[in-house]
Amino acid sequence: MIFKLLIVFGALCAIYYLKRLYNEFYWKKRGVKFYPKGKVIGPLGIFLTTKQALFEIFIDIYKMYPNEPAVGVGSILNPALYVKDPTNVQHVLSLDFNSFYHRGFDVNENDLLANNILFLNGSKWKLIRQTMTPLFTSSKLKSMYYIIDRSAQDFVEYLNNHQEKLKGDMFNTLSTFSSAAIGAAVFGIGTESIFNSPFLKMAQNAMTPTFSQNIKFVISAFNGTLYKLLRIKLYKQHEEFFIGAVKQVIRQREQEKIRRHDFADLCVNIQNNGVLKDPDSGLEIYPTDEVLAAQAFFFFIAGVEPSAAAMQATLIELGRNPDALKRVHDEIDSAFKKHNNTITYDIIQEMEYLEMSLNESMRIHPSVGYLTRECVRDTVLPVGNIKVEKGTKIFTPLYEFHHDSNIFPDPQVFKPERFSRENRSTIAYNVFMPFGKGNRLCVGTRYATLQVKAGLVHLLRNFTVKTEIGEGGIKYKKHHTQVRPYNLRIELFPRNKERIE
């Protein structure tokens, strides 16, 4: 028995050794440098075995090879490539979309809530996205803005009544606003904002990077076939609650005669129109409650965590840049005074310095650290003439671009002027992508930005902010996709009402 175990162990060691050699040789013959750490397990394996966030591992690779257009990295099954030249990244995310439309993750059909536009690929993704896009047109955003604004006002009242929330876990506090706003505006849940909602708890739980979730993520990223064979489900524990809630909202809306122009109305219209059809591929999807609930799940999760992260990022930077904070306060106060204490969709779009500050804050503190794709047909990256085979896993920088001094001079310095309207045509703006890039840009980007601005406007109308960074600078929680800063303290202080009015 011991002899057999030794043979098996020896065979595994031999396979591991040969795979190390193969991965390095695979990229060497294509003229691509190979990252020496984790030659078999790659960044995903290093992530599982260290305390680092995954994006921090990519930062190390980015710095190690400053002049390389791409770097090969270890992977157990499929080849994996870290594409770091801006031109090549644009090629992957936008210009050669037909070769890289796959997000890089696969989910199982029975994983009901994971079958949403974030994870779907190919014709199914295109059909579902086209069906969901009308929810976030300018006219729809205008029609739902009053609900978002009401949620922001309610949030201020909530903070005034719970002053312990003015310091401490600010990300969690801001998540309560995001949950209430998207619940009311997009899903029509409740007649007013709710700040202690089971939906918020679900969103927080779904995004918590537990060891189990990290394992599932890594398996999916390593190889979709293996992931499907293991029949892994990402969000099984939330199916009964969330699908049940969406069904209830849709059935209730079917019985109402009032149009709210929100997600529930869109669901009713979609189901009334029958089967969804893609004329190019012939694909047909029946819009069941479960299919629509999966899209709702994505919208809700994306409307809570990234929005709270963007608000927190802005408070972090304004709280340690008093001059910028004063300019934002003055702009907000002026808008309230000019428009008789009323803020509308059009008014909030006119607040240029607020938008500049938000963008600069998301540059410094993006909610996600990198982007992923999978090559679906053999192609070539232009810079370096790098041949990429079908099935290759692609990782692209995001945090790294945002903090590259060759792209953004003095990247650690908060300079909202980088995002003035005059500077938006620069190369730096082209690699600014806090919501992704290309055809797979987050469908709810405009809604999320509007929600964040509304929350910040009412928050900073009533409070000022101070940020303190802990010893050693900002540190990050271990997470497979997101950038979650800690080792800092954000505190809100009520403003002098008589002075601002």
Binding-site residue ranges for heme: 442
Which are the contacts of 137, defined by CB distance < 8 A and separation ≥ 6? none
Cβ atoms of 73 and 82 closer than 8 Å? yes
* R_g of the chain computed on alpha carbons: 24
Cite the annotated binding site by residue number: 442
Both tokens of 259, joined, read 């149009």
Q: Which residues of 153-183 are buried (b: 16+ CB within 10 A; e: fewer)?
A: bbbbebbeeeeebbeeebbebbbbbbbbbbb
Instruction: Report the DSSP beta bridge partners of residue 370.
Output: 397
Instruction: Extract the tokens encoding 296.
Output: 């709702």
The string of DSSP codes covering 446-475 is HHHHHHHHHHHHHHHHHEEEEEEEPTTS-E
Residue 112 — φ and ψ, nearest 5°? -60, -45
Residues in Cβ contact with 380 at an 8 Å cutoff, skipping those fewer than 6 apart: 386, 387, 388
Q: Could you give phi then psi for residue 216, rounded to 5 degrees?
A: -60, -45
Sign of CA dihedral 445, 447, 450, 454: negative
DSSP-H helix ranges across 256-339: 263-273, 289-318, 322-338
Identify the DSSP state of 487: S
| Residues 121 and 103 sit within 8 Å (Cβ to Cβ) | yes
Q: What does the block give as tokens for 369?
A: 């650290």
Strand-pair partners of 136: none
SS3 406: coil
Rounded to whole angstroms, how far apart are CA atoms 144 and 345? 9
- Phi first, then psi, for residue 189 (nearest 5°) are -85, 115
Q: Tokens in use for 401? A: 């671009």
**Amino acid letter for position 211:** F
Cα–Cα distances in angstroms (integers) from residue 367 to residues 133, 170, 187, in the given order: 22, 15, 23
Question: How far apart (Å, rounded) are the C-alpha atoms in residues 18 and 414?
Answer: 48
Tally Cβ neighbours within 10 Å of residue 38: 20
Kindly report the CA angle at 178 between 177 and 184, in degrees rounded to 5? 90
* Helix/strand/coil percentages in the chain, nearest 5: 55, 10, 35
DSSP SS3 for 441: coil
